[in-house]
Structures are given as C-alpha cells and as structure tokens.
Structure 1
Amino acid sequence: MRDLYQRLAVSPVADQPTLDSALSRCPNSALRRDAEAALGIASHRARYDEVHRTLGDIGRLRAGLGLTHAPHWQIEAANDFSMPADTAPPRVETLDRRVAAAVSFFDRWCSAQGVWLLVTVFAMGAGVGLALGLPLLAWLGFL
C-alpha cells in the first residue's frame, strides 16, 4: 500500500486546504485520483488514517525486530511503510549479557569466599594453637 501522505509530501495531520493544495500540485494523475478518493471524503480519510497508523506500527515493529525484505525485493511501489532494520541489539540480548555478567561476578565471589574461609580457619587454628601452646610450654618449663 502506498503512503499517500508521504507521496504528497504533507503531514498526516494536515488540514483539508493544505491537502487540496498538495493534490492540485501532484503531477501523477493516478496518485491524485487515489488520494482524492481516499483523502477527499472525511469518512474515507478517517478509515485511511486508521490503516495508515496500523501499517506504520507494523513497519516500526518489523524494523525493531530486524526484519527486512528478502534480497530479491527491488520494487519500491509497495515499500512506503517499510523502514530500515534496527541495528541496535534487542533488549533481550542486552539483558542476557547483564545477567551473565552478574552470574559470573557471583561465581567469582563465591570461589574467592571459599579461599578466604580456608585462610580464616587456618589463622584461627594457628591463633588457638599459640594461645594454648604458649601457656603449656611455660607450664612444662620450656619457656
């Protein structure tokens, strides 16, 4: 479907005199007839505007999902609502990377915690050994 507003170079919220002026300047007679039929009558324009919004939403959704036409698609006549694919990574991939980084950090912290637990137990054992061993050595007369 053709985007009549785009082809007439007017805004979708343009008033009727602006639209009539654009129609009178249109060099393409087939486009002018289609635009007069779709946009010239208020009830037809309301229905066209609804379809126009829907097709625009679909075009933005396709672009956001990274969907494009097949490589052999060369025709521009029905390409008015197509948009270039979004090159930004989807939010799911971004979230997945952030969760993976958090899990990796937690795993490193847990493994480091095990090492520090071993060091702490060894230090406490050495401290208890010294605390009990020194009085014992003094009692036995070695100190």
Structure 2
Amino acid sequence: MRDLYQRLALAPDVDAPTLEAAIEACPNRALRQDAEATLVVASHRQRYDETHRVLRDIGSLRARLGLTHAPHWQGEAANDFSQPSSGPASSLDTLTSRVSEAVSLFDRFKRLGGGWLLVALFVLGACVGLVGGLALAAGLGVL
C-alpha cells in the first residue's frame, strides 16, 4: 500500500480543502486517481487512516528492531512505511554474528580435544587447590 499522504507531501490530519488542492496539483495521474478514490470520500478516508496508522506503527517497530526490506524488495515497492533503522546494526545482524562467534568457539574447542582439555583443567585446579590447602595447613601449624 502506498502512503498517499507522504506522496502528496501532506500531513495525515490535513483539512479537506488543502487535501483537494494537493490532489488537483498532483502531476501523477495514477496517484491523483488513487487519492481521489481513497481520501476524498469520508468513509474511505476513515478506513485508510486507520490502516495508515497501523502501517506507520509497524514501520516504526521495524526501525527500532533494525529490520529493513532491503534484501527482499527492489526499488521502492515497500518503502512507503519503512523508516531508517535506529541502530548502527540490525538486531538480526547482531544476533547472527553472536551465534556465528559461539559456533566458531565451540568448533575450536572440539578441534583442540575439548574433553581432554576439560580433564587437564580439572587436574590442574585440583593440584592448585591441594598445594594451597597444604600451604594453609602448614601456616596454621596443623602439619
């Protein structure tokens, strides 16, 4: 759905005379016909305005989530209600990079013999604990 207000350079709360003047001045015949059929008739405009609010809210939500139509749409087919992303990277891109990093760390761990590495760390920790315990016991005069 096209954003007729945006394409006519009008605010959604525009009054009827200003709306009709903008429609008359529109050089695009197809846009002018769509606007006349949709925005001039009061009942049609009311339904359009309700849908317009929902689509504008969805566009805002997509922007806050960092989602875009870019990989899926050519040209401006779906961009009327799209807004620029509010963050430097989309949430999907951030999540994808984090998952990729976790997978590569896991693969590296497995390649290094992860099971043996865990056993070695446990034995090393036990030795350090034993030496520390003996030193503490000697310091307290128990041994």
Fold shared per TM-score above 0.5: yes
1:84 is displaced (CA, Å) by 1.1
Whether the 8 Å contact between 2:69 and 2:78 is mirrored in structure 1 is no
User: Once the two structures are superposed, what CA deviation does each residue of 1:6-33 show, in whole Å capped at 9, x if it has no partner?
Assistant: 0011110000000000000000000000
Higher relative contact order (CA 8 A, sep 6+): 1
**Structure 2 residue aligned with 1:68:** 68
| Counterpart position of 2:87 | 87
Return the offset for 1:35: 0.4
User: Cα gap change, 1:76/1:41 in structure 2, threshold over 3 Å: closer, same or farther?
Assistant: same
In structure 1, list runs of 5 or more residues that go unmatched.
91-143
Task: Determine the structure 1 residue equivalent to 2:33.
Answer: 33
Partner residue, 2:12: 12
What residue is the counterpart of 1:138 in the other structure?
Answer: none
Cα root mean square deviation, aligned: 1.8
Q: Which residue of 1 aligns with 2:2?
A: 2
Deviations 1:32-68 (A, max 9, x none): 0000011010000000000000000000000011111
Seen in structure 2, the aligned counterparts of structure 1 residues 72 and 52 have a Cα distance that, compared at 3 Å, is closer
Residue 79 of structure 1 aligns with an amino acid whose one-letter code is: N
Runs of 4+ in 1 over 2 A off after TM superposition: 70-74
Which one-letter code corresponds to 1:7 in the other structure? R
- 1:75 Cα deviation after fit: 1.8
Higher Rg:
1
The Cα of 1:79 is off from its aligned counterpart by: 1.1
Cα distance between partner residues in 1 of 2:72 and 2:52: 26
Q: Describe the shift of the 1:24–1:61 C-alpha distance in structure 2 as closer, same or farther (beyond 3 A).
A: same
- The residue aligned with 1:132 is none
Q: How many residues align?
A: 90
Q: CA deviation at 1:88?
A: 6.2
Task: State the TM-score, normalized to the length of structure 2.
Answer: 0.59
Identity across matched positions, percent: 68
Q: Is the 8 A contact 2:66 2:89 kept in 1?
A: no
Question: Could you tell me how far apart the structure 2 residues matched to 1:67 and 1:57 are?
Answer: 14
Separation in 1 of the partners of 2:83 and 2:38?
Answer: 23
